[in-house]
Structure 1
Amino acid sequence: MTMPATTWTAATLPVDDNVNPYVFSIALNSPWFMSKGAMLAYYGDVRFEAVTAYASMQAWVAARFSSPIYVQDWVIAEGHGRLLIGDRGYDLNSYDLDAGNLTIKAGNLLAFETGLELKQSIVPGFVTLLGTGRFIASSNGPVIFVEPPFRADPEALLGWADCPSPSVHHDAAWMAASIAGALQGAFGRASGEERQYDFTGQGTVLLQSSEIAREDPAVLRLVEAQTQLLTNSQAGSLGQRLIARAQQQ
């Protein structure tokens, strides 16, 4: 016999906890930063304002959110009520930082309290959270935690805490020996067997249990900004490679 699904109300929803592995319930009593598109539903008096608009009125927002590449992809959620967030059926987890320092893949960060500061990482596609507070992140499958020294597939890497930024390790021997690797290199593609992030020192590395990465909306803007440095011939060559890559995929 199939049991009926639980029916939730504003009074019975979890308080700052998961409703299930894929939905998180925020008890909203103070402002939160939230990624656009993460909101599933809400109870109560809840309002959303673009970070770009809010920063012009509240100086503390500009001090807390220091990432021009990602600022247009975020809003401020404020008011009082229950806010349900999710990410396309991905696993959701909450993490607490206590005077901490954690760098996370920008596309997987869904929301964080205003006690934390967000800064743009020197590693493309990642942001760094500093301070004390809670944040919510998604992952394609459960998250596992490992300690350096460690090398991670860039697609499986979710983030790292309290350890130096990784260096990039290229396995030239695998590329030279593998026909598939050579073809991927020719089309500008790479895999975890050819390129890894190399972690050393103390700290914790977070991995998702899948190599399927969430699309980062800011990557295209970042790449487009850099193409201004190309000559016309270089831009043409890049265009041909991108077309070949699209055809290959």
Structure 2
Amino acid sequence: MGNYSIQEFINQTKQDESANDYFQLETPRMLEINLSDQVWAKTGSMISYTGDIKFEREGIMEHGLGRMFKKAVSGEGSSLMKATGNGKLYVADQGKKITILDLDNEKITVNGNDLLAFEPGLDWDIHLMKKVAGMMSGGLFNVQLEGRGMVAITTHYEPVTLLVTPDQPVITDPNATVAWSGHLEPEFKTDVSFKTFIGRGSGESIQMKFSGEGFVIVQPFEEVVYSQSSSS
């Protein structure tokens, strides 16, 4: 196992030319976008492309000063790039597993660090988690998406979806929380005894509580994101 001739390796790993969906998983950890117009993707996620595609960071007036101001406050710098043109674009994020969600006039909120790409027809906005800005080292903003179109999210390992019901709230670690129903409003709470019990960093004392009806997507990994506003 693991020994291939060059031709055997090419045959086993070459791109699938038969696929033509707008978003297509080339592998579980690489997304192929069949671009004919434009798409939003995480800055720095481009692996390769064919055809005529141009990339630009989100412009100051792209969605008005309000969103740019909120993003600047989040300390994340420019988190989204716009790819425009015709061709095949391949994107990935540090080998994380990719899941494609097809929204049908639905709303979902995604942790800013776990959003890989989405169709330009979706309405989106950035939501800051102001209450935890001083308590968490990263993941300070979320992106709320709504409408019809595809969204690609990333997780460390396989995601798990937890159902929230009126009689059963769901409590999660913010660093393991990937996305949730767009209408849910998480409540942030601290638990000193929980922090003491775990015996790790200060972030362990923060919890997210989801109440109502909906779902929460979590990953089996606590992703602590440090400010990287100066990097791409």
For normalisation by structure 2, the TM-score amounts to 0.76
Structure in which a larger fraction of residues adopt helix: 1
Which residue matches 1:32?
Answer: 39
Give CA deviations for 1:14-44 in whole Å, capped at 9, x if unaligned: 6421111110111101210112111100111
RCO comparison, higher one (Cα < 8 Å, 6+) = 2
Question: How far is the alpha carbon of 1:99 from its aligned partner?
Answer: 1.5
Q: Structure 2 CA distance, aligned partners of 1:94 and 1:52? A: 26
Number of residues of Structure 1 aligned to a counterpart in Structure 2: 203
Q: What does 1:83-232 align with in structure 2 at a 5 Å threshold?
A: 83-123=89-129, 124-148=140-164, 149-175=169-195, 178=197, 180=199, 184=201, 189-191=202-204, 194-215=205-226, 217=228
Answer with 1 or 2: which has the greater Rg. 1
d(CA) in 2 for partners of 1:71 and 1:212? 19
Give the aligned partner of residue 51 of structure 1: 58
CA distance in 1, matches of 2:58, 2:50: 22
RMSD: 2.7
| Offset at residue 82 of structure 1 (A) | 0.7
Tell me which residue corresponds to 1:226. none
Match for 1:107: what amino acid? Answer: N
Contact 2:127 2:143 in 1 (8 A): yes
Partner Cα distance (2:58, 2:198) in 1: 47
The normalised TM-score by structure 1 is 0.72
Structure 2, unmatched stretches of 5+, are: 130-139
Q: Distance in 1 between matches of 2:59 and 2:182?
A: 30
Identical residues among aligned pairs (%) = 24
Change (3 A) 1:18 1:168: same
Aligned AA for 1:208? Answer: Q
SS in 2 for 1:107: helix
Looking at structure 2, the residues matched to 209 and 119 of structure 1 have their Cα atoms a distance apart, in angstroms, of 27
